[in-house]
Amino acid sequence: MTHSIRLSTTLAFAAALIALAPGQRAVAQSAGLYVNAVDIDVKPGETDKYLAALKENGTEAVKEPGCRVFNIHVRANDPNHVFIYEVYENAAALEAHRQTPHFKKYAATTANMVAKREVHAVTTVAVNVKGR
């Protein structure tokens, strides 16, 4: 099970990175971006409400200084499994996000909707993107 979660997380990282810099021909970046990757199992029957709250939070998050990407993915074979991929300038930008009213609203609204949450904090070593 852990191997499959790690594999799905790795595949989601790759998919999210593809969309990181649309319109650019090629980018090789070595800056230490801060990535917050979160695997969430939503309780059955709560997914639609959970995703609505998460989408609202993500829409506001990308307006914040320091937030570059806030992608939401749902596992193709399990609609109750959500993967969030956030990219911030640094850890302080993520912490600032967690202090915003929209994040606090999301956290309060979804607190009882989550069966399991795994947070993976990573630092970007390189981003390679080919434009469309």
What are the tens digits of pLDDT across the range 79-126?
999 999 999 999 899 999 999 999 999 999 999 999 999 999 988 777
What are the tens digits of pLDDT across the range 22-54?
444 444 444 578 999 999 999 999 999 999 999
- List, in sequence order, the alpha helices (H) in the chain: 2-18, 47-61, 91-98, 101-110
Phi, psi values for residue 30, rounded to 5°: -120, 5
